[in-house]
Structure 1
């Protein structure tokens, strides 16, 4: 059993896009939960854990297995926190409870070993993507979500599959500039929370950006996606590292 008193690291992950047709990503995630995450004070999942989410009533073996794996981690001493992404914003309290995760607001402020940090998925920072922001506003409304959740499970599965195809086509036609964050929005976010550190995912461009906010040096850290390898941010009292893990070869 992990010695909780010796823990002094926090992990952040995002953009895993777990799906049944990508067992390599799932295997890497399970390995991370079993080998790295138990040593952490906390694990933060900053959205897009799943490629799509059709509702907490999804009874597929795949989503149940993922819930059980996360629950095993949380019940053995590592709290797990979840921030919704643009792919899994319908994930609700029922599945969070089943997984042992605590749901956080879409923008949260945390204490990270004495430093105030703002965490989020990051899609709200991409204000140049006007079409997506319009869809985001509609899809977060109570009436839209109520309408979707009222549909039969098999219909929602088809809608999710169709959306993934349309999203891939739309993304391919957008410029990289449109899909990245807007600098002014980043500064506004940090100034709103009076913080010098922002951690987010969504853009799939892992990096550490030195910026200025609140008339002082600040940093924006972007988490990596899991399309080609596992990726996480490891933060300790004395270090910050963006790390990757190759997928296992069959």
Structure 2
């Protein structure tokens, strides 16, 4: 059962310290002040009541390189993450398709540990597999070609050597082209491919898969176990705010919590 903060039983449960929280697709941007506000409140309130926080990609709408972390908006986010780390919460990061240029300088400043995609976890009695999820969208062949190119070390080195303003202009152009292209793609093409999911899960028998990227919050029963799809966040463009996280409690139960 999916739970929300309005559930009376949940408010008591949230007072108990969680083993881990999982979040993705917040798409932080200074153009989204309400979404930013809700996420900062999440970091200063709910996230302080867990042992570990896993950020599974697309925390930012885009990331042009760690030298972009010096602007005031990004500094506020970095400072909030560092404060959570200093409070004693371990923070882990998997890159998304929007912020794969996050590097070691950001990680050190924010107090986060960079993880590979996918990463296998054993937390308490739970066997988990975490991923951003975009690598599973194999039906979207044009995106997979683009992904293979930009994840190459050589491409990233050449791109990061460009001036920051030029990088931002290129990224904005890529986003505009991507938005136009997506209008001509079916939702099925942009979702995960069942065979790709099965192939990944077969490599990690018994693991519960947790990912984001698709913005299709759900719990799926797959042949090899459960698959949790994390919600995306948007509190600025819709009358009803959207967002949330997955909570692993001390008994090993996974539960969605919504803002």
Q: Give the TM-score normalised by structure 1.
A: 0.91
Please give the secondary structure, in 2, of the residue aligned with 1:229. Answer: coil
Q: Quote the offset at 1:77 in angstroms.
A: 1.0
Q: Does 1:220 align with 2:227?
A: yes
Q: Quote the offset at 1:231 in angstroms.
A: 1.1
Q: Quote the offset at 1:196 in angstroms.
A: 3.2
**Distance in 2 (alpha carbons) for counterparts of 1:173 and 1:75:** 46
Please give the secondary structure, in 1, of the residue aligned with 2:22. Answer: strand
Pick aligned residue for 1:40 from 47, 50, 62: 50
Q: Does 1:98 align with 2:109?
A: yes
Q: Which residue of 1 aligns with 2:254?
A: 240
Please give the secondary structure, in 2, of the residue aligned with 1:157. Answer: helix
Q: Quote the offset at 1:181 in angstroms.
A: 0.6
**Distance in 2 (alpha carbons) for counterparts of 1:39 and 1:85:** 25
Per-residue CA distance 1:57-100 (angstroms, 9 max, x = gap):
11211111100000000111110000000000000010011000
**Distance in 2 (alpha carbons) for counterparts of 1:212 and 1:145:** 37
Q: Which residue of 2 aligns with 1:26?
A: 36
Question: Contact conserved, 2:19 with 2:123, CA < 8 A, in 1?
Answer: no
Q: Which residue of 1 aligns with 2:187?
A: 176
Equivalent residues in 2 for 1:54-65 (5 A)?
54-58=64-68, 59-65=70-76
Q: Quote the offset at 1:48 in angstroms.
A: 0.3
**Distance in 1 (alpha carbons) for counterparts of 2:42 and 2:32:** 16
Structure 1 vs Structure 2 CA RMSD: 1.1
Q: Quote the offset at 1:238 in angstroms.
A: 4.3
Please give the secondary structure, in 1, of the residue aligned with 2:89. Answer: coil
Please give the secondary structure, in 1, of the residue aligned with 2:177. Answer: helix
Q: Quote the offset at 1:195 in angstroms.
A: 2.9
Question: Contact conserved, 2:18 with 2:247, CA < 8 A, in 1?
Answer: no
**Distance in 1 (alpha carbons) for counterparts of 2:160 and 2:150:** 12
Q: Does 1:125 align with 2:139?
A: no
Q: Which residue of 1 aligns with 2:83?
A: 72
Question: Contact conserved, 1:118 with 1:195, CA < 8 A, in 2?
Answer: no
Q: Does 1:52 align with 2:66?
A: no
Q: Give the TM-score normalised by structure 2.
A: 0.88
- Identify the range of structure 1 (56-65 vs 46-55) with the bigger mean alpha-carbon deviation: 56-65
Q: Which residue of 1 aligns with 2:243?
A: 230
Please give the secondary structure, in 2, of the residue aligned with 1:124. Answer: helix
Q: Which residue of 2 aligns with 1:248?
A: none
Q: Quote the offset at 1:165 in angstroms.
A: 1.3
Question: Contact conserved, 1:29 with 1:230, CA < 8 A, in 2?
Answer: no
How many residues are aligned here?
Answer: 236
Q: Does 1:208 align with 2:236?
A: no
**Distance in 2 (alpha carbons) for counterparts of 1:8 and 1:65:** 25
**Distance in 2 (alpha carbons) for counterparts of 1:115 and 1:187:** 20
Q: Which residue of 2 aligns with 1:3?
A: none
